[in-house]
Amino acid sequence: MEKPKIVAYLKPQCGWSMGVRAIMKKYDLPYEDRDIINDPVQRAEMMQKSGQQLSPCVEVNGKMLADVSGEEVEAYMLANSLVSPNSVQPEAPIDQPCAHEIGQEAPLAFKRG
């Protein structure tokens, strides 16, 4: 099976980005890891190609998957027969934000009338 050409626009330390990296490793896929935090040119390119600001964005054979989790990247690649299913466990959660972002939702504020 020919490996897809993958360009991943990722943050260095982000749960979602680590999930994408874990999927690349799970399937032994070569990819370009583009740092959108420390390289403004890469961030601008991601925004231009994806039409939005959220990350991760992963371009697979020219198809942009915008604001995706590792789980969504894996599902896309399996559905399009770009990888074969395997039983390898990912090294990181593939569907979670950074640990410090979990449970950080703002509390509801109610106004008295």
Q: How high is the pLDDT of residue 33?
A: 98
Which CATH fold would you assign to the domain 6-96?
Answer: Glutaredoxin (3.40.30)
* Cβ contacts of 23 within 8 Å, gap of 6 or more: 29, 70, 71, 73, 74, 77, 90, 94
- The model carries a pTM of 0.85
Q: How high is the pLDDT of residue 1?
A: 73
Rounded Cα distance between 98 and 13, Å, is: 8
Q: Where are the domains of the chain?
A: 6-96
pLDDT per residue as tens, the chain (113 positions): 789 999 999 999 899 999 999 999 999 999 999 999 999 999 999 999 999 999 999 999 999 999 999 999 999 999 999 999 999 999 999 998 876 555 555 555 556 65
